Structure 1
């Protein structure tokens, strides 16, 4: 009902103001009356411009159209915002109380001025503009245009301290419920050495992030979008390779690997970064951590080659509840390389083990909170060892496993397979070599990275996408001077895919072990990571900040250097 009224009002007011202009001339003095049909008028003269409740005219007509009654404007006006611009004067903004009857401005004869008046009200804004071209002795031209009538809201873009280029301008006025398409940045909005990744509803990058072309639904208030700038930053070093990363709901970062020192503190293979400082998780682990995962309750799970956690027996897998470590049954008989949690907080573990909780489970098993169970006959290789290196769960609860294996559940799968809760199935003809990383996006696509050069029989260098029915390459993929592969994948809230590994180009573009896929092309994430390094782990926090771990060094211009861990995140410019 409300939307149909808004549309009718827009048409009505536009017709009134495009047809009801009265122009007259008297000697060397020019005057124009804008006849509104409601016994009110605004006048332009060479000496002044009088807005006789200019906005109230719009409102009274709107009221008459919606209620059938004329004369009384809608209530709730809090103020009038008047913007005046023209040659030689720049732009002037004035705010007047909602009960202002007359606004008088001096306008030099022969000048051109553009007046834009907005009535601020709790439910929305009315907007209109009048352009008066004033020249003594000539007939005066007056045009009235409406940007919005009824409930109307704007989207305004800010460069957030950009040093070059121009922000886009959205001249539309939107009603509550309208679809807004986020504008681009024309390729020229820049801060040297910093990467533009999109727009955010907060200047500090901690609001809702949108990428150009993305849409959102307009609410009941004007929207400000700030350029979101990302750059590499460091927050301490690890003294050995980082193999696993995970973020909890409070944006705490958990780090696991071969290291025993992080940020200068002894932490024994696992640590937490809270955004300010490093801390240990109890006494840590007895050996390396290869995988980390956080469930919906905030519990942290760690998998690896260790047999103790917090000083107590925990065979290759353990849980941290925020204060202490505990074992998951009797654990696994061999290393755990991958972990994943589904929507019901079931935990899946993959690795090189053949038993879980003392029962047969070939390379993969499920923990339901109290006991371990096998997933069918699991992952196997009749001619040698099998390994699961990667796990991912999609929005439908399907589990995907990638690694080094020819069969899953007795079915030929070639390094990648799907478990639907009861049976295993292949994803096309699979890959020609090992899969090291998996990630699922919100659209149901599955991304795989690894050592392969073909997926489903199609050329795909180290990375590919499964859309539910077939494999496709992501551009020309990754390459390097010698061997090259993808170790880690992560998807952010805007659907961007990040890939990390050992490579020097992505899609033909120079990229030192890390790159971003935006759905159509690859881009490098700066050049701060050394080209000889390797990225082994990636994760994204709730603000879209990307964390990378591995065996690399990073040097940030003017911001220090570190080893094996870094953040590609928001460059704060406005607070």
Structure 2
């Protein structure tokens, strides 16, 4: 049988690789446990069998004998052990490279009973060494340390006696190399360092002389690559880096020429994925990422077409889990996470259909533990209703015999007797008695409790019959169904047969004659059930409220019902006759016949009361008493009832007028209750009128009619009422403003009279201002504010206003003097706007005299201030020529007649 075990890497060598993949999830895909409840995982030769902490454990099962190789961490030796059936024994002596050297990357293989082990040889520069056990000692195969340089990830395979090894070759740029032993020396298969770049985790398989190697391919984004040697060179199987993403731990197996690769799938949350090569490409076996959580250290074995994978299970506290592909999905083999604690460096082998799993066991001092799948005998109560099934805690090898246990847990099943065990729940399998031997086969055994049904008696009891006999009983199997008989000849006076009951007092389960009865797990007595005869008592209420008939057991008393009611009447008891002569006694037992009881009634009288309903004066009519259903005449307002703002409008049965109206002298039929008739009042309406009250323009708002006591919103000055010299100030109930003041939108309730609202006017005040009107000195009188129409005494020139060339002449309403003049002390009447009185100025005149200096005289000119003098005709003087007018006698300053005259007389001198 061809097989391959991918050898594990040392923890410290791949710490970085593991760390990069930590923390991803895992999901189990499949149908459940491969072997249901009939398998368990058991340690082979005890858990933690190495001397101390172990590194790089490797597993090979040869003809049912497990071999393991590992590095003893406390002494750095390579140790190979095998299980001899009862204990672990060391194969030869531990291989001791040197006290100072460190071994690693062990890979064990057994060929024709000869164990081989490959390892990194610290004594030989950490190169590869392969040794075989010759029956007495370990001897090197060829030269020790035969690789070119430092090595890692060593995988050993022996093909027809020829050892092959693959490894990471530090002598060739950390690429993959494969060497084989040719009988005298180690030779390179193809080229050394044949991979595209650096590799991690080489796994070697030789199929009919053709070596295959899988590895994590750094040159292809750390995806998985598989290569094979075609006789002359290494070629890629399918595509290089064929996995969808990074692939860690890439164990290889070849089954019937088909390569399989498992790996930790970083594109699927570091879960487990298995792919196989179909001749043209790599396809996924089942679903990608089929584990429940992260799957580290995967180890692969394909057993006759069935892939198995073991791994450290992130979904189960890093314990070991084994899964297999069942053709449609991945399922766990036994319980998931079956190891005692966390694991590292998991290695899987399958022999004769039985998986073995080797791992570094954190629960046992990080020593190595080998687990083997074993088979169990389990017991099923098969419908038991009490007790417990026995437990066989042992695991058995394939096809081993086990001793069948007895009913130690006192299993019980209602209505049955325990009769041993059977391999089928329906009892159609093989039966076993306690102490028999049973073969566990290749799947384990489940034994079902076997039960024999019991028989139980059924007896019939006449239960008080006054004549006749009960039917005969019988014995029947538990849970069988019988048909129950009728009364036969049984009779009970005053009763009717009504079937059977499981209790004499009828408190059990009822069964009708002819019905079916299921036999229970104990003898049973069925008692005749008798129904007492009943009679009907009918109640005639003579038009009153109905009273339900009573069905009364023979000899019992009638229950006195609640008194019926009848409109306008009082109930006066029950009588046995329609003529109401004999009262009925409810304590009398009923006779053997139906009968009727008759109600007796007395007619009622009721009072009519009159209510003024808010009247403020007058009196209501007198009350009266009247028999139910008699006719009553309604009086009028005989007591002169009155209510402010309302008019009397008759009577009503409700205070709010929502009842029935009755006018004076109307009649009504007296009902079955006292009646109060309330005065009905019709509310009056009153008019609201608005008065402009002296307005000089605009219009008052329209008034309106409003019901008494309703709230009216006061209108604003919507019609633009105006009064000269006044401002509109709302409304008042009096023209002189002495009443109630209302602003626009104020509200008031309508009283019991019409209302007039008068516009209210506030007299305006206006400002009177005095303006100096061009004065050149002095000040105008202070301004003042005065009510419209008031008289103001006009002041004089108290502020000594002055204007060059002018004389103050009083005041005028226009600056240009075109308005109304007001002398000092006169009266000014304030108008309906602000006003300004302007100082009135009279321009002064000055005399221009002409001194002709002995010439002909020139007439003087009176000139208004600021005007220009008229140049006169030139004077004459004998012997002289006139040379112009001058302002000074010295004739130095010629006069310009275009210049305005100043505020003084002027003399001009002829030159």
Normalising by structure 1, report the TM-score: 0.48
Bigger radius of gyration, 1 or 2? 2
Which structure is higher in RCO with an 8 Å CA cutoff and minimum separation 6? Answer: 1
Normalising by structure 2, report the TM-score: 0.32
